[in-house]
Amino acid sequence: QQQVRQSPQSLTVWEGETAILNCSYENSAFDYFPWYQQFPGEGPALLIAIRSVSDKKEDGRFTIFFNKREKKLSLHITDSQPGDSATYFCAASASTGNTGKLIFGLGTTLQVQP
């Protein structure tokens, strides 16, 4: 059973548009949600993260919106650039009894067309 789900599997937007990547989770104990960006041939790099006490986290063009009641979150990339083309992974972990393990979704591959 997939504990962290992402949609869509792939997404294409034009340069300058806002890309919206969705994520949902099953485990109510999850309280930390990082998003990782991965380019081909590279390891995932932390992009932005949110804790469940917040409903929004913003860092430049990247914003996470979090809905704890619905167990959903989304990553908004405003003014998308061709350099944003990558795979984005939503991940989750629980602080209580946590060994630091992150559970990853299957990823959303974003293509930004110039």
Partner 1 sequence: GPKVLQIPSHQIIDMGQMVTLNCDPVSNHLYFYWYKQILGQQMEFLVNFYNGKVMEKSKLFKDQFSVERPDGSYFTLKIQPTALEDSAVYFCASSSEGTLYFGSGTRLTVL
Which residues contact partner 1 by CB under 8 A?
Answer: 32, 34, 36, 40-46, 49, 87, 89, 91, 93, 95, 98-107
Rank residues 7 and 93 by Cβ distance to partner 1 and give the closer one: 93
Alpha carbon 4 to its chain centroid, in Å, reads 10
Q: Provide, rounded to whole angstroms, the least separation between the CB of residue 91 and partner 1.
A: 8
Could you count the other beta carbons within 10 Å of the beta carbon of residue 40? 7
Q: Provide, rounded to whole angstroms, the least separation between the CB of residue 34 and partner 1.
A: 7
Rank residues 9 and 69 by Cβ distance to partner 1 and give the closer one: 9
CB neighbours of 55 closer than 8 A, spacing ≥ 6?
Answer: 65, 66, 67, 68
51, 58, 59: which is closest to 33 by C-alpha?
Answer: 51
CB 47 within 8 A of CB 78: no
Rank residues 18 and 54 by Cβ distance to partner 1 and give the closer one: 54
Rank residues 19 and 107 by Cβ distance to partner 1 and give the closer one: 107
Q: Provide, rounded to whole angstroms, the least separation between the CB of residue 79 and partner 1.
A: 23
